[in-house]
Copies of this chain bind each other. A is one copy, B any other.
């Protein structure tokens, strides 16, 4: 997993994104992600790639007994700590690959927009299964295979300078893709849909929900949101350890 979120210039650019400044309500996927959270009253929660801690704090607000947020970026963890007063939330600088995933320790494991930086999804899925209690829920949001298979993760533009089509190539050659994100060259990992969903099934989970993020009606006036109807960018998946 690369640590671009610890790069000062990238971190500063990230801080200017609407979702960084205004939190969950400014995230185009939140209106679909929120209803997929299970009841969290008294539950133990693990947040993989917690960033500023928006979702960790949301989980605590929902009554979670304890929340652990991990992130590879020390800058992110420092910012999460700065923003968090709740005593039942703890944060830790740690990669998703290196975390120890204690057996049957959590009721709910969550990950928002972190897994497309992971080369070996199967490894993480098995570890999440291990660390969940029986009946526990794994909810994640990952960049959609259509998005990660996009050429340079960008549109083809028409002569008018507007997006003309979303170009896909080399779909069945998963692995690292160099993209331009927030003005920097960022390596992401393309996974096919098969890899994502069969990875979940092979880890032992039951698939409960698969949903592609699309903007809410209320968001359609935000600049660029209409183009979000033209190709899927994020895939939301909820699975249960049965």
Contacts and interface: CB of A to CB of B under 8 A. Distances in A.
Contacts of A172: 212, 214, 228-230, 232
Given A156-B156, A206-B206, A169 B230 contact: yes
Interface range on chain A (Cβ under 8 Å from partner): 20 to 34
Interface stretch (A2-10, A69-77, A192-200): A192-200
A231 interface: yes
A121 to B, nearest CB: 14
Interface string A182-210: 00000000001110011001000011111
15 contacts: A146-B168, A146-B171, A165-B167, A165-B168, A165-B169, A166-B168, A168-B168, A172-B230, A173-B229, A193-B210, A193-B232, A194-B212, A198-B210, A198-B211, A201-B210
Given A166-B168, A172-B232, 20 more contacts: A146-B146, A146-B171, A151-B165, A156-B156, A165-B165, A165-B167, A166-B167, A166-B169, A170-B229, A170-B230, A171-B232, A172-B214, A192-B212, A193-B212, A193-B235, A194-B210, A194-B212, A197-B207, A198-B209, A198-B211
